[in-house]
């Protein structure tokens, strides 16, 4: 059922976000914000950047493995990467991760000019595998700006929290001044894009507390409020004290970085939570199945999740107990001229799991062929 896989996908998405923010935060900080600090603390920043690369790459690879495991055949991993559009985007993401890591080694003289397009490309691959991909060009652009402003500002705060111990006072002051100026614009853009995306995905205010998506959004907003409040304290209280040489450390910046990690993790969990469907949406994303045939009952769920179509089905007797075995069932999914189909017996006693990779989002006609009859459903598939 959907909830059985939500936790793994949510954790992987959260770790992917943390890794990307670490990688980009270290890169942006070293090039544009804290150049002097970065030279003095290059090993600390290298640990941050390389750790972010490994975390993002590992989350991406394990995500593909987990997806093929849900399909029932992990040998499909290479085929998924090479033969599907989503796999192509994931390959591009891994290539961009490697390119950004190599730029961080300082081998290229033009890295200050190469870095921004590569970083935007990486963030674009995240946008294409998020809710924004199903909302059209405007939502995709808003999602990209939301991610970019968060990665530049939030990632730079993470880098500063890692690099400040042992750095020269004047170098830290210049870095704080640049980051403070950058943060003001980033927070405004982050807030505007976040409000727009929340509005189009929630549909109505009541969904804030009545749906899982709204509740996770409230948690994220609460953490964002704490981070913005602490950032204001650092700008209005810490920066003047640094300028007057009355501050001995950046403990409040470290606290801000810790809260930002909470925001990033919450964003990862939110990205894998289905928004409430629009009131006008005719096709559901989850269909409960309860079909009685004589003394036997087929019960389960047909649902879409992360670009996949899943069927979980149990064959039970009149008392509700699993039978010792069951017949082979055929599942077919069709959108336009594209037809996916598979016939499979139970994987355990009389329990079935069939799944397809849906190449395109939208409405799919799904037919389930039982021994006595064929059931037909319309299922909405999101990216």
For residues 304 and 290, the answer to whether their CB atoms sit within 8 Å is no
Quick check: is 277 in a domain? no
Instruction: Say what the pLDDT of residue 3 is.
Output: 39
Is the pLDDT assigned to residue 316 strictly greater than 50? yes
Cα within 13 Å of Cα(360), Cβ side? 10
Last residue of a domain, one of 221, 243, 271: 271
For helices 42-71 and 85-103, the axis angle rounded to 10 degrees is 170
Quick one: which of 95, 97, 78, 96 has its CA closest to 87? 78
Cα distance between residue 112 and residue 282, in whole Å: 49
Q: Reply yes or no on whether the pLDDT at 306 is more than 80.
A: no
Which residue, 185, 184, 211, is CA-closest to 198? Answer: 211
Tell me, yes or no, whether 333 lies in a domain.
yes
Question: Mean pLDDT, to the nearest integer, of 244-257?
Answer: 77
CA angle, 27 then 53 then 158, to 5°: 50
Q: Looking at residue 106, what is its pLDDT?
A: 66
Query: Is residue 256 located within the same domain as residue 300?
Result: no
Instruction: Say yes or no: 265 and 298 in one domain.
Output: no
Tokens 């507390």 map to which residue?
Answer: 209
Give yes or no: residues 317 and 358 share one domain: yes
Do the domain assignments include residue 281?
A: no
Does residue 29 fall inside a structural domain? yes
Same-domain pairing of 256 and 334: no
What's the whole-number mean pLDDT along residues 28-52? 90
Determine contact, residues 142/132, Cβ cutoff 8 Å.
yes
Q: How many domains does the chain have?
A: 2
**Residues 238 and 197 both lie in one domain:** yes
Q: Share the mean pLDDT of the chain.
A: 85
Q: Please check whether residues 27 and 118 belong to one and the same domain.
A: yes
Question: Are both 299 and 324 inside the same structural domain?
Answer: yes
Which residues, other chains included, contact 383 with Cβ-Cβ below 8 Å and sequence gap of 6+?
Answer: 86, 128, 129, 130, 131, 133, 134, 306, 307, 361
Task: Give a yes or no: residue 278 inside a domain.
Answer: no
Does one domain contain both 302 and 255?
A: no
Note whether 255 and 333 are same-domain residues.
no
Domain match, 32 and 135 both: yes
Span 70-108, pLDDT tens digits = 766 777 788 888 877 778 889 999 999 999 999 887 666
Phi, psi of 183 (to 5 degrees): -60, -35
381 contacts: CB under 8 Å, gap ≥ 6? 285, 304, 307, 309, 358, 360, 361, 362, 363, 364
Encode 230-252: b = buried (16+ Cβ within 10 Å), e = exposed.
Answer: bbeebbeebbeebeeeebeebeb
Query: In this model, does residue 12 exceed pLDDT 60?
Result: yes
Phi-psi sector, 320: left (phi>0), alpha (psi -120 to 50), beta = left
254 plus 293 within the same structural domain: no
- List, for residues 260-297, the tens digit of each pLDDT value: 899 999 988 888 887 776 655 556 778 889 998 888 99
| Domain termination residue (choose one: 271, 305, 323) | 271
User: Confidence band (pLDDT; 50, 70, 90) for 248?
Assistant: low
The whole-number pLDDT of residue 5 equals 44
Q: Is residue 203 part of a domain?
A: yes
CATH number, residue 294:
2.60.40.10
What confidence category does residue 168 fall into, taking pLDDT thresholds of 50, 70 and 90?
Answer: confident
What are 137's strand-pairing partners? none
Task: Give the pLDDT confidence of 46-72 residue by residue, as tens digits.
Answer: 999 999 999 999 999 998 888 787 766
Q: Is residue 279 situated within a structural domain?
A: no
- For residue 280, being part of any structural domain is answered with no
More confident site: 228 or 56: 56
- Cα separation of 280 and 79, whole Å? 37
User: Are 43 and 188 within one domain?
Assistant: yes
Answer with the one of 240, 271, 302 that is the final residue of a domain.
Answer: 271
This prediction has a pTM of 0.77
Range of the domain at 187: 2-271
Residue 132: what pLDDT?
A: 64
């Amino acid at each position: 059922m959907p909830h059985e896989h939500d936790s793994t996908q949510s954790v992987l998405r959260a770790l992917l976000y943390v890794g990307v923010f670490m990688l980009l935060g270290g890169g942006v900080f070293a090039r544009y914000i804290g150049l002097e600090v970065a030279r003095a603390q290059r090993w600390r920043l290298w640990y941050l950047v390389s750790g972010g690369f490994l975390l993002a790459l590992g989350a991406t690879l394990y995500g593909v493995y987990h997806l093929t495991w849900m399909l029932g055949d992990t040998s499909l991993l290479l085929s998924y990467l090479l033969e599907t559009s989503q796999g192509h985007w994931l390959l591009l993401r891994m290539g961009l991760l490697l390119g950004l890591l190599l730029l961080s080694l300082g081998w290229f003289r033009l890295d200050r000019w190469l870095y921004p397009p590569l970083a935007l490309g990486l963030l674009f691959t995240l946008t294409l595998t998020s809710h924004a991909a199903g909302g059209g060009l405007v939502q995709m652009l808003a999602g990209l700006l939301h991610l970019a402003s968060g990665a530049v500002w939030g990632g730079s705060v993470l880098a500063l929290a890692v690099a400040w111990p042992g750095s020269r006072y004047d170098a830290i002051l210049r870095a704080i001044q640049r980051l403070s100026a950058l943060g003001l614009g980033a927070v405004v853009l982050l807030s505007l894009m976040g409000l727009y995306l929340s509005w189009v995905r929630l549909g109505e205010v009541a969904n804030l507390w009545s749906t899982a998506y709204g509740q996770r959004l409230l948690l994220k907003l609460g953490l964002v409020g704490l981070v913005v409040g602490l950032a204001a304290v650092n700008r209005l209280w810490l920066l003047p004290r640094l300028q007057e040489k009355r501050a001995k450390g950046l403990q409040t910046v470290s606290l801000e970085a810790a809260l930002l990690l909470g925001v990033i993790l919450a964003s990862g969990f939110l990205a894998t939570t289905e928004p409430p469907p629009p009131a006008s949406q005719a096709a559901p994303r989850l269909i409960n199945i309860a079909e009685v045939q004589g003394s036997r009952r087929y019960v389960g769920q047909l649902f879409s999740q992360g670009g996949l179509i899943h069927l979980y089905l149990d064959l039970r007797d009149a008392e509700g107990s699993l039978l010792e075995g069951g017949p082979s069932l055929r599942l077919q999914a069709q959108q336009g001229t594209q037809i996916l189909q598979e016939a499979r017996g139970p994987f355990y006693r009389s329990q079935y799991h069939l799944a397809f990779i849906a190449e395109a989002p939208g409405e799919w006609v799904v037919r389930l062929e039982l021994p006595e009859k064929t059931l037909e459903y319309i299922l909405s598939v999101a990216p």
